[in-house]
Amino acid sequence: MKRRDFIKTGAIGLAAPSAVFGETNIKPNKNDPLILSTWKHGLPANDAAWKSLQNGGNAMDAAEAGARVPEADPSITSVGFGGYPDEEGNVTLDACVMDSKGNAGSVAFIQNIKHPVSVARKVMEDTKHVMLVGEGARQFAVSQGFEEMDLLTVESKKAWEEWKKKRREMTPHETHDTISVLAQDKNGDMAGACTTSGWAYKLHGRVGDSPIIGAGLFVDNEIGCAAATGLGEEVIKTTGSFLVVELMRQGYDPTAACEEALNRVIKRHNGNPDFQIAYIAIRKDGEIGSACIKGSFEYALARGGQNKLHKIKGLL
C-alpha cells in the first residue's frame, strides 16, 4: 500500500479514534477554526487553544495559550518547566511565535523563565526586534514582569544525573518532543507558536530550530503555515517550515509539501537518515498535512468540536 493510500484509509495503533483521515479530507469551511499541534501533549494544548478562540481570542492568542500548557507541565520533559537540561544541568529554552501579519518574536537559550512562548510574543509586540537570546532574553522577561524560577525538577535532575554516568549521546526524538501549535481562527487568519527545551543534554549554549523563524515555524497568512519537531540542526539547514509553506505556494498539498521538505533531508543523508523530523502544516483553505521521516509521529487536531490524536507512518 502506498503511503498516500495508507493516510486515506486510516492510521495505525491509535488510542484515539482514527476518524482523522476522514476529517482531513473534508473540504473545510473557510470559517471553521482549527488547531493543529505536535505530539500527544498537543491534545491538552489544543484544548486550551480552543478555549482561547471561544473566548474571542485570535489565532495568535490561541497558539500561545496552547503552547503554554506543556510549558507549565513538569511531567513533559521536552518543554518548559521540567524540561531535560543541557549537559551541565541547565534548563535552557527556545521558543518563537509568528502572527497572521507576518510579525515574529523569538527567544533562544533563555533560562529560569517558565513561559518562553509568552516572552517571544512580548518581543514581537513590545520591541523593535525579532529575537533575544540568553541573559538578555531573561532580563527582558523579568522587566516585563515574568517571574523567575528554577525549571529543573527533581525528576529531570535525576534523569540528568543518570545520563552523566554514561554520557551517551541522545538524539532529539529519543528524549523530547517539541510542541508546535498552529492555529486558524474564524476569520481564516493563521498564527503559530513553537516551544522546547531542545536536545536533552545538549552542549551548553546550543540552540535548535524551534526559535528560528522559517526553521521551526513559519506563517504566511496568504498561503499557510508550518512547524517542525525533531532534529533541529537538520531543520535549520533546510529552512524547513519556510520550505513547506513555499511548496504549498507552488501548489503542493500540505502533506506533499511536508514530504518534499523531508525528502530533501533524506537525500542529503543518502536516503538513510538516522534521526527523526516531522512537519505539520495548514493551508489557507483549512486543509492540513503532516509527514515524518521514520517510525511514526502523532499530531493533535482540533476542529469541528473534536480534538483527536492522529498517528502517521514515516516516509522510510
Residue numbers at the binding site for ligand SD4 (CB under 6 A) = 172-173, 176-178, 196, 198-199, 208-210, 229-232
- How near is the Cβ of 285 to ligand SD4 at its closest, in Å? 27
Measure the CA angle with vertex 168, ends 162 and 173; round to 5°.
Answer: 95
Instruction: Rank residues 156 and 229 by Cβ distance to ligand SD4 and give the closer one.
Output: 229
Of the listed 178, 196, 238, 255, which one is catalytic? 178
Spacing of C-alpha 145 from chain mean position? 25
Instruction: Rank residues 39 and 58 by Cβ distance to ligand SD4 and give the closer one.
Output: 39
Rounded to whole angstroms, how far apart are CA atoms 156 and 2?
Answer: 41
* Contacts of 134 by beta carbon, 8 Å cutoff, 6+ apart: 108, 109, 110, 111
Instruction: Rank residues 79 and 257 by Cβ distance to ligand SD4 and give the closer one.
Output: 79
Q: Please, are residues 116 and 91 in contact by the beta-carbon 8 Å criterion?
A: no
Rounded to whole angstroms, how far apart are CA atoms 117 and 150?
Answer: 17
Residue 9 is among the residues annotated as catalytic for this protein: no
- How near is the Cβ of 278 to ligand SD4 at its closest, in Å? 8
- How near is the Cβ of 244 to ligand SD4 at its closest, in Å? 14
SS3 187: coil
Rounded to whole angstroms, how far apart are CA atoms 42 and 35?
Answer: 9
Instruction: Rank residues 186 and 264 by Cβ distance to ligand SD4 and give the closer one.
Output: 264
- How near is the Cβ of 30 to ligand SD4 at its closest, in Å? 31
Please identify every residue annotated as catalytic.
178
